[in-house]
Amino acid sequence: MSWLMEVQWSPYAVGIGIGILSWFTWLISSKPIGCSTSFAKTAGLIEKLFRGNKVDDRPYYQEVKPGVDWQWVFVAGIVGGAAASSLLSGDFSWQWVPSVWEQNFGDNVLPRLATALAGGLLLGFGSRWAGGCTSGHGISGTMQLAVSGWISAICFFIGGIIMAQLLFTVIA
């Protein structure tokens, strides 16, 4: 079982593993692998803590009902699976500033957190705008040969490459 304790596997082994996992999510749960809807459901649940059931009047939450479903526990499972993997290999660490960020922008925590927060806002907003994320469109949509999946996935990377270049070659 020493392979479970390795820090990193071949990306092809991981990719094939995810592909096979998707066969089973379809066979057993009739669901594609996806993540971003759960963040919208969580946003709705949090808003409900403050505004109560009035939140259900928002047209968006009539389509995406706030609550805990298959995908929500799937996303929670990711946290546990990644923790198990990193603890088994000794790769787990509490870290504020990633090393590539530190090499380019220094070890100050605040700029990293501000950028991550801004990035998260755009990511959450954009994933709901596009109707999916790197998993729902990028993996599950493309493998179903959905036009929505291919267009979204290509645009995720176009936007990402542009911003990464801006950040690391113009600003850094």
Residues 60-99 that bind another protein (CB under 8 A): 60-61, 64-86, 89, 91-99
| Interface with another protein, residue 118, by CB under 8 A | yes
Q: Could you tell me the smallest distance in angstroms from the CB atom of residue 104 to another protein?
A: 9
Q: Could you tell me the smallest distance in angstroms from the CB atom of residue 171 to another protein?
A: 11
Q: Could you tell me the smallest distance in angstroms from the CB atom of residue 81 to another protein?
A: 3
Both tokens of 58, joined, read: 């928002």
Name the residue type at position 17: G
| Interface with another protein, residue 105, by CB under 8 A | no
Binding positions for another protein, 30-49, rule CB under 8 A: 30-33, 35-36, 38-40, 42-47
| Interface with another protein, residue 172, by CB under 8 A | no
Give the Cβ contact number of residue 154 at 10 Å. 13
Residues 6+ apart with CB under 8 A from 43: 66, 124
Binder to another protein among 1, 2, 11, 90 (CB under 8 A)?
11
Give the Cβ contact number of residue 34 at 10 Å. 22
- How far apart (Å, rounded) are the C-alpha atoms in residues 65 and 94? 34
DSSP 145: T
